[in-house]
Structure 1
Amino acid sequence: MGPSAAASSVLILLLLLGAVVDAQPRGRILRGWEAQPHLRPYMASLQLDGKHICGGFLIAPQWVLSAAHCTEQMGDKHFQVLLGAHSLSAPEPHKRLYNVKAQIAHPGSNIHNNRDDLLLLQLEEKAELNEHVKVLPFQREDREVAADTLCDTAGWGTITHSGKRPDRLQEVQRPVISRELCNHRTRHDRTITEKMMCTDSNKKDTCKGDSGGPLVCNGVAEGVVTAGSRVCGNYKKPAIYTRIAPYAEWIDSIMASRDGDEDVATR
């Protein structure tokens, strides 16, 4: 084989290896899909300077629930909350950006772990509820969701390993896995507390920018997408959620202390 033929063979081999590398499920929500427009009218986009940062969802006309770690490195800034959106950029009938009156992280949250990773956002005014803007009920009964229960989540987070963000809402369905499995030394190694839950992350997963969105099981928000230093789509690093039910009393007390007896989504 001459030098030219040898060089060509090496080039072909490198191209084939590159194709294999690109096919690996790194840093993306794999095999999710675009949500049906406005069939998740509770979804919120938390934004800074017009850019999507995290997800969230409407739990009362003036309140959005999200993840506390979304506020890291914000300083004194407050989010704005986009409701009624499917596309982040296109004009839509009931899409509206709301200013935030108060953002209250759970006092137990911190940057060193995933514990108590909840954030309440009080809008400056009650959202105008309509077919594209609705409240999502959250779980109040402090019970475990059975393993293998199929749940879904949605967001405008990263969809490729290069960091590409979608303009339109994406969704994915994942089965719940037991805490015992999630805490295995080859998974999250005993860091998942009773106030957390996990879903299988094999090839289908949430990713950066989806934090704060709801994990919905049987029409009810059971958890909030939380932080996790993990490669998206890696089955050895299941997705972590903060269970909502253990925090129902805290949520109620914050809302009641700031605006009286607000109508709260219950079940």
Structure 2
Amino acid sequence: MYRVLIVSAFVVFYMATFCSGDTSVKIINGDNANIEDNPWMVSVEFRENENSNFEHECGGSIIDKSWVLTAAHCNVFKPDRPANDIRVAAGSSFKSQMKVKIPVKKYYMHEKFEPYNTGELDYDLMLLQLKKPLKFGPTINKIDLDTDIGKNYTGDICTITGWGDTDATTVQNFPDRLQVVSMPAVTNEYCGIAWNITKTYWNNILCLQDKDKDSCKADSGGPAVCSKKLVGILSFGNNEPCASSLPSVHTRISAFLDWIKEKMNTKNKKNKKNKKGKGKKSKKGKGKKNKKNNRN
């Protein structure tokens, strides 16, 4: 069994959050953050249908002009959700002042992510392909991915950002301004035992913990940045209260590089092929039209 605490601490985070309709994990005892210092940070917004409003549910990280990385469980309730019911908001420290809002063209949840019957959050990552590329600048830019699967981050100070709940208790307080907090990485062994995570999955996680500091509701999918690289995306942690005796767990990016690259490369090549094909067809059609005109 993946989680020995699934009927106690984990279920408080996982079930209470999801049953209330909140698919995300705010930052507890953090500080106000500037988007210029975290230009890869975006708000991932969902809507129930085309007649409802988009609302912030999770964080995400820009890893390319047309690609954002977030957590698969953000879409756990509607895995067949139309892509146009998801969008990315970027370019401001304040949710209410986001001027860049781009719909999602397609999304790709990891094929092995199956929490629906098991309650487990293995392979908790999702790629969002945007309908149009972002324009990079001081407030919007990508972050490099961690590629060193063998690196041990234990003891390193990592930074997390988000617009999630800032109150560690059952009282919810969602800020308009982006929050940031730094926490040290703990050993995967300690984290794995604390959450009863299968040992074979320990290399696929990054865990952070510090007294009275934590991520919380609506921070899910947000970046864990260590040594200026995207090392993890927030998957789960304890909830109600947040900042408990358990570490927050982040999906380790370097463990899924092949999956990320395969999805991005396949889709990018397909897009280029389609554009090339359209160009040929257009040119060929134009030639036929000109010939017909010449005959007349």
Q: How would you bin the TM-score normalised by the shorter chain?
A: 0.7 to 0.9
**Secondary structure at the counterpart of residue 161 of structure 2:** strand
Q: 1:151 pairs with 149, 152, 158, which one?
A: 158
Aligned equivalent of 2:144: 137
1:115 aligns with 2:130: no
Which whole-Å deviations, capped at 9, do the CAs of 1:59-109 have from their partners, x for residues lacking one?
A: 01100000000002235243110011210113x6xx300000001100011
2:32 to 28, 31, 34: 34
Looking at structure 2, the residues matched to 199 and 229 of structure 1 have their Cα atoms a distance apart, in angstroms, of: 12
Alignment-derived partner of residue 124 in structure 1: 131
Which of 200, 203, 207 is equivalent to 2:209? Answer: 200
Query: Alpha carbons of 1:134 and 1:199: their partners in 2 closer, same or farther (altered >3 Å)?
Result: same
SS in 1 for 2:236: coil
Q: Comparing both structures, which one devotes a greater share of its residues to helix? A: 2
Q: Quote the Cα distance in structure 1 between the aligned partners of 2:102 and 2:165.
A: 24
Q: Does 1:173 align with 2:182?
A: yes
Tell me which residue corresponds to 2:60: 56
Contact 1:159 1:207 in 2 (8 A): yes
Alignment of 1:68 with 2:72, yes or no, is yes
Find the aligned partners of 1:215 and 1:241 in 2 and give their Cα distance.
Answer: 7
How far apart are 1:261 and its partner, in Å?
A: 9.4
**How far 1:193 moved relative to its partner?**
2.4
Give the C-alpha shift of residue 229 in structure 1: 5.0
- Secondary structure class of the residue paired with 1:226: strand
Number of the residue aligned with 2:10 = none
| Identity of matched residues, % | 29
Give the whole-Å Cα distance in 2 for the aligned partners of 1:82 and 1:29: 19
Distance in 1 of aligned mates of 2:121 and 2:77:
16
Question: What amino acid does structure 1 have at the position aligned with 2:43?
Answer: S
**Secondary structure of the structure 1 residue equivalent to 2:146:** coil
Structure 1 residues not aligned, in runs of 5+: 1-26, 263-267
The superposition leaves residues 133-158 of structure 1 with CA deviations (integer Å, 9 ceiling, x where unpaired) of 10100111212333110010100111
Rounded to whole Å, the distance in 2 between the matches of 1:125 and 1:119 is 18
Match of residue 45, structure 2, among 35, 44, 47:
47
Change (3 A) 1:232 1:28: farther
Q: Which residue of 2 aligns with 1:106?
A: 110
**Between 100-109 and 188-197, the greater mean CA deviation after superposition:** 188-197
1:260 aligns with 2:269: yes
What amino acid maps onto 1:166 in structure 2? P
Q: Deviation above 6 Å: which 4+ runs of structure 1?
A: none
CA contact (8 A) 1:145 1:176 kept: no
The CA distance in 2 between the partners of 1:255 and 1:117, in whole Å, is 17
Q: Is 1:243 matched up with 2:252?
A: yes
Between the two proteins, the alignment pairs up a number of residues equal to: 230
TM-score after normalising by structure 2: 0.73
SS in 1 for 2:108: strand
Q: Is the 8 A contact 1:201 1:239 kept in 2?
A: no
Classify the secondary structure of the residue corresponding to 2:45: strand
Which of 240, 243, 252 is matched with 1:233 structurally? 243
Give the AA of the match of 1:46.
V
